[in-house]
Structures are given as C-alpha cells and as structure tokens.
A = this chain, B = another copy of it.
Amino acid sequence: MDRKIEDILKRNQLSVTSGRKKILELFLQQDGALAHNDIEKRAGEKFDRVTIYRTLQAFLEKGMIHSIPTSDNSIRYALCKDNCSEGHHHDDHVHFVCSACGNTVCLEGVMVPPIKLPNGFVVEQVEMLVSGVCKSCNMDV
C-alpha cells in the first residue's frame, strides 16, 4: 500500500514526503470528496495548514485531483479516476452533495447533458451540482 502511494507520487513527478503520502492515502481511503478542513482533521493535527494547501495545489496541478464548487463556499477536491491523472480530461461528470450525511461524491457514470445557450455565448466548461439524498443515506431509513 505504501509502495503504491509512493508510485503514484513519483509517476506525477512529485517528491515523496510524509505529508503527501498521508493526504493521498486519505483520498484513496475515501470515495467521496474532501475539503481542506476534512483533511486537516483526519490527518490528526500533524500537518501545517499551509502544507495541506500547497499539497492540494500540487495535486491539482498534476491532475491527480479535481475541484468541485459548492454552495457553501469551500472548495472540495476529489480524486481523478484513471486517465484523468495524465492530463486534464475533466470529463464533465455530475457531482452529488448529500444533504443528510454531507458527503460529496463524483457520479462518474452520469455525464452532464449537452446544453444549448443563446447565440453569442461560448461554452468552455460546465459544472453540474446535484443535491439530495445519497444511496447510503436512503438505505439507512
């Protein structure tokens, strides 16, 4: 496991440090998205806030994670799957925020439907943010 994490970092041309290993591990353990705050808590007070910010930025630049806009204003990050790690594929999938458990997940299977804008508007990127109750929370009831 530790080897695997180090490999991912090296493959992305990042120095292997304990902080980066820990943060990457958190992302791998979790299938939802993480905000800076979540990482700070789960890392066990061991890392400086700034280090976490810089690590997230590094991961972002390398295309290892992508950011998800939220209604409350704090940026969340989620691991990019497979091919995304190479470039910035960002294949416009839907993001889901559960109002029960608060988790944010990528719905990798659900593509953002094509959208037609009025004349004169040029589309560069589309974000789709769905809120509601997620699968696990529905099963709990």
Is A17 among interface residues, defined by CB-CB distance under 8 A?
no
CB interface residues, A 90-141, toward B, < 8 Å: 94, 96, 99, 107, 109-110, 113, 115-135, 138-139
In the assembly, how many copies of this chain are there? 2
> Do residues A107 and B96 form an inter-chain contact, with CB atoms below 8 A?
no
Pick from B67, B73, B129, B135: contact of A118, CB under 8 Å? B135
Docked-complex contact A134 and B120, CB < 8 angstroms: yes
Best-buried of A70, A124, A127 by chain B (most CB within 10 Å): A127
Decide if A28 is an interface residue (CB 8 Å cutoff): no
| Contact sample, A vs B, 28 pairs, CB 8 Å cutoff | A67-B71, A69-B69, A69-B129, A71-B127, A73-B74, A73-B75, A94-B117, A96-B117, A96-B121, A109-B118, A110-B116, A113-B113, A115-B128, A115-B130, A119-B135, A120-B139, A121-B130, A121-B132, A122-B132, A122-B133, A123-B130, A123-B132, A124-B132, A125-B131, A126-B128, A126-B129, A127-B128, A127-B129
